[in-house]
Amino acid sequence: MSGAAPEKMVYAFGGGKAEGRSGMKNLLGGKGANLAEMANLGLPVPPGFTITTEVCTAYYANDRQYPEGLKEEVEKALGEVERITGKKFGDPSNPLLVSVRSGARASMPGMMDTVLNLGLNDDTVAGLAKLSGDERFAYDSYRRFIQMYSDVVLGVAHHTFEEILDTYKDDRDYVLDTSMTAEDWQAVIAEYKEAVESALGKPFPQDPQEQLWGAIDAVFGSWMNERSKTYRRLNNIPAEWGTAVNVQAMVFGNMGETSATGVAFTRNPSTGEKRVYGEFLINAQGEDVVAGIRTPQSLTKQSREEQGSDEPSLEEAMPETYKELAAVFQKLEDHYRDMQDIEFTIEQGKLYMLQTRNGKRTAKAALKIAVDLCAEGKISEDEAVMRVDPAALDQLLHPSLDPNAERDLIAKGLPASPGAASGEVVFTADEAERLAQEGRRVMLVRVETSPEDIHGMHAAAGIVTARGGMTSHAAVVARGMGRACVCGAGDLKIEKDGSKFTVHGREVKKGDQITIDGSTGEIFFGAVATIEPELSGDFGKLMEWADKHRRMRVRANAETPLDAKTARGFGAEGIGLCRTEHMFFDADRINVVREMILADNEQGRRAALDRLLPFQRGDFEQLFREMKGLPVTIRLLDPPLHEFLPHGEKEIGEVANALGRDVKDVKDRLSQLHEQNPMLGHRGCRLAVSYPEIAEMQARAIFEAAIAIGKETGDPVQPEIMVPLVSTKKELDLVKDRIDAVAQKVFAEAGEKLVYTVGTMIELPRAALTADKIAHSAEFFSFGTNDLTQTTFGLSRDDAGSFLPNYLRHNILDQDPFVSLDQEGVGQLVAIGAQKGRETRSLIKLGICGEHGGDPASISFCEGIGLDYVSCSPYRVPIARLAAAQASLAAKKRAEG
Ligand code: ADP
Ligand code: MG
Ligand code: MG
């Protein structure tokens, strides 16, 4: 296939104007669109151009061939850059050098690293030396270019060059790169070139055009590398988006002591405090600041003093330039109406802007910035609600160190990402992932991290690095993931063989427990106790705004009084799912439960159930008391009975003994209860059909408790009794009749009535498809999307772990359907169920109670089909409240056009 070439493939920027805008992120990528926007704002942006994401898409659609006409457009745009800069690409006397930078819609680690100083070769390097009057600078730039280009474009490993340089320096007793003269760099360059030639069998490319297209190819190529794929998978970014390529005239932060390069946030990305926050390095280039090779200096005097550093801040070292920079920060923040993450370079006193984007931030900072911007009149309440990523709220709910716990401080680094965590030390990302899969909590300890480590960072409870600043890879990625992280703990000496690290004479071996506090940068030996967080005033305010806009109610899945209390504390408006079987497992009653299950006849079962009744009634009393009149949905017993029975030989013996029964007897009953496919077996309402006395006991416990607590508190309790795993109306009717009969009996005994409802879970495809019939009997539906996902896909949740990851890797599924609702399939059944339910009973109450009830994307789907509430685990209640508000606001916006 060929596919027509996109109409315009290259967008120029620079010289005070640009062809693109910040609204064109889909086409130009985030970096390109914002470079264009900054140029249009009249900010000092080195000129350049952006090759669009459509070219990337066309490239892959067309068997890695570029659309026709691209070369010409690139040539023209490059000509424009030459005109603005007055330099010429490849001209030995006045060479134009460029950077080649990838830039997808969302910033994406895993994409090709930027190549700087492109256009240098044995001839142009001499031109650069003459032009700058600085030979050393020119050859330093050239060797950097060879190193970078060889690594990211040609695939010659970085360490090849590090080793050459280290050996060269060692031989001459040089410690710092600053000892290297122009001649030294020339000698190193010769060795670099040899190394490239011997690795590749051909020389390092000298032709600037070849260099340029090599780099462009490499950017587009990196869109499909494994790292990018992993990142896209973890972040739900579709492969179709493609990346853009930015080619931009170089400016040099490494042209001596009046040159510098830096990164800044217009507000503190950890706390949200309204204060410029950033780092810079004098006489440095590009990634030096984030690479953690030298320790960067603070931008402001205030933060330098706070950090107790002697190295001057930019504010002190270059006051004029700092003033100009501060004005740019203000301008950009006002323009984007959000906190910006900015890269800049100073070339011999002249300021250049190289990047801006809405800055990544912790949840705490996100809340504070949204609330502050609203107070500053920059954004509305609605916008503030839309600004905070609901999933990120999770971070606020992370624990901190118990102030009373014993602790053994062994080191301190930078407080890179908040939260306290402990885990056993591992030194590689693969190891972290492997142990985490075994259910162990691990602490990933690295010299520094790179995009190859992402899977391990994801798997770890926390991350420690020995090198790198607050804007290093580890810090940025950890904050984004909500992992606790301590960076730049320079005292850690990590053994190369990955067996241990030493710090101040102490050894910490692989497998030892350590604890980190990502809010202070402290590292402790052993597992230190942690405590639950308290939520800030900003949180309360934003939640209050969110609740104003929310249509759907938010309930919690909770069965213990503690869960219920937590849920209410987080703002739950009821319990959407109380799983009664959890109550059966308590040590003081499991044997009565077993006695009931093992009984030979109804009479035996009823005797055991009579003894269970007071326990169950007590459970429900506590729950109702805690929920203070809020609705509580109680699901009748659901799992197959053998889940309650002993398994091993020894346990079977003990149970037989405790119940005074024969071991053989117990074994016989066990094998009767054995099922091939328990997930599809004798469970849910099928139990109530076979043993209605169980449902009767539970109904009685519910009604008696409800009456008692109604009397005690004066708040009438309105229980909602939910019959699980219904697939036909008749099944439900049979169970419902029993429940209603018990109700009448209990009411007569108590001389008191209460309002209750009986409904069902919709968790089987047949129930969804016949929901109109079922709704004649059910007063409410709760979509049990965990089982509905299993039964719709024919996929067992317990077994999917071994093959589902492959489905994600091969993009057969975009997401784990047990985490985020499969809207196309399972969602369709939910929508059908909701619609059919309403056909019969227009005011039927509809909710969802699977894991999906706490997933923002699924919540937005629920808003779309008009469910009344979502129910999720207590800790996700704030997330659900915010996600529901955002879904309502988005729906409102759509309705308004
Ligand atoms: P990333 O997306 O990893 O931040 P960038 O493309 O922003 O990659 O570039 C990496 C580093 O190189 C940044 O510090 C950036 O400021 C610097 N850089 C990129 N282009 C230029 C340029 N034209 N002149 C000087 N420095 C540049
Ligand atoms: Mg990079
Ligand atoms: Mg950048």
pLDDT tens figures, 336-372: 999 999 999 999 999 999 999 999 898 889 999 999 9
Give dist(CA 758, CA 726) in Å, integer. 13
Say if residue 530's pLDDT is above 90. no
Distance between Cα 830 and ligand 2 center (Å): 43
Between 158-171 and 135-149, two packed helices, what is the crossing angle to 10 degrees? 140
Q: Per CATH, the architecture of 260-361 is what?
A: 2-Layer Sandwich (3.30)
List, for residues 688-705, the tens digit of each pLDDT value: 999 999 999 999 999 999
Distance between alpha carbon 354 and the CA centroid of its chain, in Å?
Answer: 27
List, for residues 237-262, the tens digit of each pLDDT value: 888 999 999 999 999 999 989 999 99
Is any ligand 1 atom within 6 A of the Cβ of residue 117?
no
Mean pLDDT of 298-304: 94
Question: What SS3 class is residue 507?
Answer: strand
Q: Which residue of 13, 99, 105 sits with most ligand 1 atoms within 8 Å of its CB, as the best mutation to test the pocket?
A: 99
Give dist(CA 328, CA 342) in Å, integer. 10
- What is the model's pLDDT at position 801? 67
- Cα angle at 639 between 636 and 644, to 5 degrees? 110
Q: Which residues pair with 279 in a beta bridge?
A: 263, 298
Give dist(CA 342, CA 359) in Å, integer. 8
List, for residues 462-487, the tens digit of each pLDDT value: 999 998 776 678 887 786 676 899 99
Domain ranges for the chain: 10-249, 260-361, 398-531, 552-581+626-639+687-896
Is any ligand 1 atom within 6 A of the Cβ of residue 530?
no
The band of 811, judged by pLDDT with boundaries at 50, 70 and 90, is: confident
The percent of residues above 90 in pLDDT, for the chain, comes to: 73
Q: Which residue of 116, 294, 449 sits with most ligand 1 atoms within 8 Å of its CB, as the best mutation to test the pocket?
A: 116
DSSP type of residue 111: B
Is any ligand 1 atom within 6 A of the Cβ of residue 345?
yes
Half-sphere exposure of 409 (CA within 13 A, CB side): 9
Q: Are 868 and 552 in contact (CB under 8 A)?
A: yes
- What is the model's pLDDT at position 1? 39
Distance between start and end Cα atoms, the chain: 38
| Candidate list 473, 549, 642, 852, residue with the active-site label | 473
Least trusted range by pLDDT, from 1-5, 556-560, 650-654, 777-781: 1-5
List, for residues 877-887, the tens digit of each pLDDT value: 999 999 999 99
Q: Whose CA is nearest to atom 12 of ligand 1?
A: 286
Is any ligand 1 atom within 6 A of the Cβ of residue 482?
no
- What is the model's pLDDT at position 754? 94
Distance between Cα 500 and ligand 2 center (Å): 29
- Report yes or no on whether pTM surpasses 0.75: yes
- Give the C-alpha distances (Å, rounded to integers) separating 870 from 237, 555, 726: 26, 6, 20
Say if residue 89's pLDDT is above 70. yes
Say if residue 536's pLDDT is above 80. no
Distance between Cα 245 and ligand 3 center (Å): 13
Q: Is 473 a catalytic residue?
A: yes
* Closest among 446, 396, 391 to 418, alpha carbons compared: 396
- Cα angle at 144 between 142 and 145, to 5 degrees? 65
List, for residues 152-196, the tens digit of each pLDDT value: 999 999 899 999 999 999 999 998 888 899 999 999 999 999 999
Burial class (CB in 10 A: 0-12, 13-18, 19+), 525: middle
Is any ligand 1 atom within 6 A of the Cβ of residue 291?
no
Superfamily covering domain 398-531 = Phosphohistidine domain (3.50.30.10)
- Please determine whether the domains at 260-361 and 398-531 fall in the same fold group of CATH: no
Mean pLDDT of 563-591: 87
Give dist(CA 124, CA 111) in Å, integer. 28
| Candidate list 56, 374, 487, 849, residue with the active-site label | 849
Say if residue 206's pLDDT is above 50. yes
Instruction: Choose between 396 and 91: higher pLDDT.
Output: 91
* Closest among 357, 341, 106 to 235, alpha carbons compared: 106
Is any ligand 1 atom within 6 A of the Cβ of residue 287?
yes
- Give the C-alpha distances (Å, rounded to integers) separating 528 from 190, 405, 458, 503: 53, 6, 22, 19
> What ligand 1 atom has the least distance to the C-alpha of 252?
25
- What is the model's pLDDT at position 293? 67
CATH, domain range 552-581+626-639+687-896: 3.20.20.60
**Which helix (DSSP H) or strand (DSSP E) does residue 635 occupy?**
strand 632-635
Count of Cβ atoms closer than 10 Å to residue 747 Cβ: 14
**Which helix (DSSP H) or strand (DSSP E) does residue 434 occupy?**
helix 429-437
Is any ligand 1 atom within 6 A of the Cβ of residue 286?
yes
List, for residues 396-415, the tens digit of each pLDDT value: 877 788 878 889 999 998 88
Distance between Cα 355 and ligand 3 center (Å): 6
> What ligand 1 atom has the least distance to the C-alpha of 354?
16
pLDDT averaged over every residue in the chain: 92
> What ligand 1 atom has the least distance to the C-alpha of 253?
25
- What is the model's pLDDT at position 879? 93
List, for residues 813-853, the tens digit of each pLDDT value: 888 898 899 999 999 999 999 999 999 999 999 999 987 99
> Which residues fall inside 5 Å of ion ligand 2, going by CB?
113
Q: Are 610 and 695 in contact (CB under 8 A)?
A: no
Question: What SS3 class is residue 110?
Answer: coil
Question: What SS3 class is residue 718?
Answer: coil
Q: Whose CA is nearest to atom 9 of ligand 1?
A: 114
Q: Are 12 and 76 in contact (CB under 8 A)?
A: no
The percent of residues above 70 in pLDDT, for the chain, comes to: 98
Amino acid at the residue 339? M
List, for residues 211-236, the tens digit of each pLDDT value: 999 999 999 999 999 888 878 877 77
Least trusted range by pLDDT, from 284-298, 539-553, 713-727: 284-298
Tokens 């006002």 correspond to 334
Give dist(CA 670, CA 654) in Å, integer. 14
Say if residue 574's pLDDT is above 80. yes
Question: What SS3 class is residue 853?
Answer: helix
- What is the model's pLDDT at position 582? 74
Is any ligand 1 atom within 6 A of the Cβ of residue 346?
no
Q: Is 504 a catalytic residue?
A: no
Distance between Cα 263 and ligand 3 center (Å): 9
- What is the model's pLDDT at position 2? 46
> Is the CATH code 3.30.1490.20 the one for domain 10-249?
yes
Distance between Cα 554 and ligand 2 center (Å): 41
Say if residue 3's pLDDT is above 60. no
Is any ligand 1 atom within 6 A of the Cβ of residue 46?
yes
Give dist(CA 866, CA 831) in Å, integer. 9
- What is the model's pLDDT at position 394? 72
Half-sphere exposure of 103 (CA within 13 A, CB side): 30
* Closest among 725, 722, 795 to 765, alpha carbons compared: 725
Is any ligand 1 atom within 6 A of the Cβ of residue 883?
no
